[in-house]
Structure 1
Amino acid sequence: MRSKYRSLKIRIMLQTLGISIIVALIGYFILDIFVDGVLQDPFAKTVVYMFQRIGMNEVEAIRLYRLIFWKNKVLIVGGFFMTLLLFSFYLGMSKFTTYLRQVENGIQMILDESSNRILLPEPLQPLENKLNEIKRTLKEQRRNEEENEQRKNDLIAYLAHDLKTPLTSVIAYLTLLNEAPDMPTEQRAKYTGISLQKAKRLGEMINEFFEITRYNLQNITLEKKEFYLYVLLEQVLDSFNPILKERGLQYTIDVDDRILINGDPDRLARVFENLLKNAVAYCYPNSTINVHGIVEGEGARILVRNQGKTIPPHQLEKLFEKFYRLDEARSSETGGAGLGLAIAKEIVELHDGTIKVDSQNGYTTFSIWLPRIKEET
């Protein structure tokens, strides 16, 4: 691309230089050949004759001719030369002003969201390609924004509808408890437990509403410090013990305890919490969640693996998009707002890391790579 722009620059320079040389030759030709040569005598006689026609005698006409033309011939020819130069330069640059107008039209096509391809002259082909690339990128961004907005609206509609179910249950069971003060203790305990469970779910869904509205407003900033990865993962997994036991799940952790990370432990803890929430939501009951961490090159590779339904490739590509949830999450009590993995990806990338997912043969594995601090030898 640079070579093509260089060719265009050389072409402009050569054309400008050529115009200047041609105009200089024309000016010299007029001054030396016509004014001082071939046309000198006829021109002088013509001017003297015209002066005589307005009432001057021949001597006065010759004197006036010398005063006006002969003594100022260089100035007159110079003025003519400059006028010719400007006119020639204007003609030469008109091609490039045409280029600018075409580029302006291309930019306007981007602003108007035109579906037509931007076409520019051959010398501006690199710029044509760049404008069309910008046009495609903006179109893709607009499409993604529209899809995200639609997902968010759909999710809010789902949550608003789903809020009614636990709320209705809580009201119904509390009404039964209120209307039957002599209800048997065992039945009362059962209804109270169900009411508490539904109320907790209601609270989780309300928190999801807040998370949706907060996502676009928050600006994630990191407060980095050195910490051992194993310690962080052990603390996160320990906090998940009650949830895991509730579903009959187990976990294994096999992480190199020498891996030292320079990052924000609170933000990275949220990454692994979101991955574990996702694993709990989609893994089979009474299965095992595996967490594995090893040194890999200049960083550390962390794998979070769970056994569950294989995720199709077309859905894997969208898992890290905000407000995206797998279809079964809409009917699941563990389905979140579809922000967990999007937030995890953003935090990992802020640490100059990468995150990806693979799902096959009934196992889904999230793989995170983070830069590490090398041990001193």
Structure 2
Amino acid sequence: MDEGMWITDANGVVLRHNEALRAILGTDQELVGQRPLFLLRRTELHDAVLRACREGVTSKVEVSMDAPRNKTLEVHIAPLGGSLPGSAAVFRDVTERKRLERVRQDFVANVSHELRTPIAAILGYAETLRSGALSDARHAPQMVEIIHRQSERLGELVEDLLELSRLDAGERPLSPAPVSLGEVARQASEAMEPRAAGKRLSLQLRIPTDLTARADPKALEQVLLNLLDNAIKYTPEGGTVELIGERVGDRAQLSVRDTGLGIEAKHLPRLFERFYRVDRGRSREQGGTGLGLSIVRHLVHGMEGEVRVASQLGVGSTFTVVLPVG
């Protein structure tokens, strides 16, 4: 039984309980003969038990337990009923449910925020054009270009959200098999070459021709495209982006190394979180959705691999994908 239970007398003193309650409370102390206030140090639970005993009131209380237990409990309290004095309480550990609720709320808030900016720009410039600026030969093309760019950004955001949804739901099954890392890397590199050339970046590919790994080729290409896109985005003109492959023991590594802005150490542990941005203003200016690295992590884990990052502010960053050798 996952639910903890106790029964109290008319004064709120515990008369009996099940063993699941000890596990939920994280204690091995004697519970019989104790009062709720002594056991959990929460007046709201103590008061609810007394109301059930003395007034016959049924209630639900949420109890937060401090460190080191750090749990959230949902407790349903009711009078015993009939001629029996006292109360009964059922305890449920809702810590994980509360965490998921917070994740969902944060996700919805972030999505709303990310959608609001491009939509506001599109509506603002469209309204300006409707109000007469369409005939302004100097400024109208700039407004149309902004509307087009922000529409593309909306499309990218929606596509990334759908991709994450498919990955979360297990609707994108991956099929790892032995693949040539050089071939997949070459395809990704060729796709990003025009963007690199547009910033006068040197995009270099250094991978042994015989290096293989167990991977889903389409998923791996998407991982490399996302990493190369980030590297190009945040590397100043005239810099270098390298895609390097090597074998280390029974693992194959693909690293995307850049001479970009670098990232402060305090940000590294959170880089792969959804919508986490090192610099929100800079990221939006560059056109990122804030979801690319989260997709990378999902895909790499789905191929039984791991992704690492190392960075030095003002020097550059290296993102490394580690996969089983094919």
Instruction: Calculate the TM-score normalised by the size of structure 2.
Output: 0.65
The structure that has the greater radius of gyration is 1
Match of 1:106 among 16, 22, 31: 22
Structure 1: stretches of 5+ with no match in the other structure: 1-97, 110-116, 123-131
Structure 2: stretches of 5+ with no match in the other structure: 1-13, 31-67, 73-92
Question: Equivalent residue for 1:269?
Answer: 221
2: distance between equivalents of 1:361 and 1:178? 44
**Is the aligned partner of 1:119 residue 2:34?**
no
Question: Equivalent residue for 1:368?
Answer: 321
Task: Summarize deviations over 1:229-285 as a string: whole Å, max 9, x none.
Answer: 011111111111222233332311111111122321101111111112222332223
Tell me which amino acid in the other structure corresponds to 1:119. Answer: T
2: distance between equivalents of 1:359 and 1:201? 30
1:300·1:372 contact (CA, 8 Å) conserved in 2?
yes
Secondary structure at 2:105 match in 1: helix
Residues 232 and 191 of structure 1: CA distance in aligned 2, closer, same or farther (over 3 Å): farther
1:293-308 correspondence to structure 2 within 5 Å: 293-308=245-260
2: distance between equivalents of 1:140 and 1:283? 40
Residues 223 and 174 of structure 1: CA distance in aligned 2, closer, same or farther (over 3 Å): farther
1:93-242 correspondence to structure 2 within 5 Å: 101=17, 103-106=19-22, 109=24, 118-121=26-29, 139=95, 142-143=98-99, 146-147=102-103, 149-169=105-125, 172=128, 178-179=134-135, 191-192=140-141, 195-196=144-145, 198-212=147-161, 215-218=164-167, 219=170, 220-242=172-194
1:229·1:259 contact (CA, 8 Å) conserved in 2?
yes
Residues 200 and 358 of structure 1: CA distance in aligned 2, closer, same or farther (over 3 Å): same
Matched positions, count: 251
Tell me which amino acid in the other structure corresponds to 1:369. Answer: V
Aligned identity (percent) is 23
Q: How far has the Cα of 1:216 moved from its partner?
A: 3.0
1:282·1:308 contact (CA, 8 Å) conserved in 2?
yes
Q: How far has the Cα of 1:166 moved from its partner?
A: 4.2
2:181·2:211 contact (CA, 8 Å) conserved in 1?
yes
1: distance between equivalents of 2:275 and 2:101? 11
Q: How far has the Cα of 1:324 moved from its partner?
A: 1.8
- Of 204-213 and 303-312, deviating more is 204-213
Secondary structure at 1:150 match in 2: helix
Question: Equivalent residue for 1:320?
Answer: 272
2: distance between equivalents of 1:170 and 1:243? 28
Pick the structure with more strand per residue.
Answer: 2
Pick the structure with more helix per residue.
Answer: 1
Q: How far has the Cα of 1:322 moved from its partner?
A: 2.0
Question: Equivalent residue for 1:129?
Answer: none
**Is the aligned partner of 1:349 residue 2:305?**
no
1: distance between equivalents of 2:104 and 2:221? 26
2: distance between equivalents of 1:211 and 1:280? 19
1: distance between equivalents of 2:200 and 2:97? 43
2: distance between equivalents of 1:331 and 1:352? 29
2: distance between equivalents of 1:254 and 1:174? 52
**Is the aligned partner of 1:340 residue 2:292?**
yes
2: distance between equivalents of 1:315 and 1:120? 40
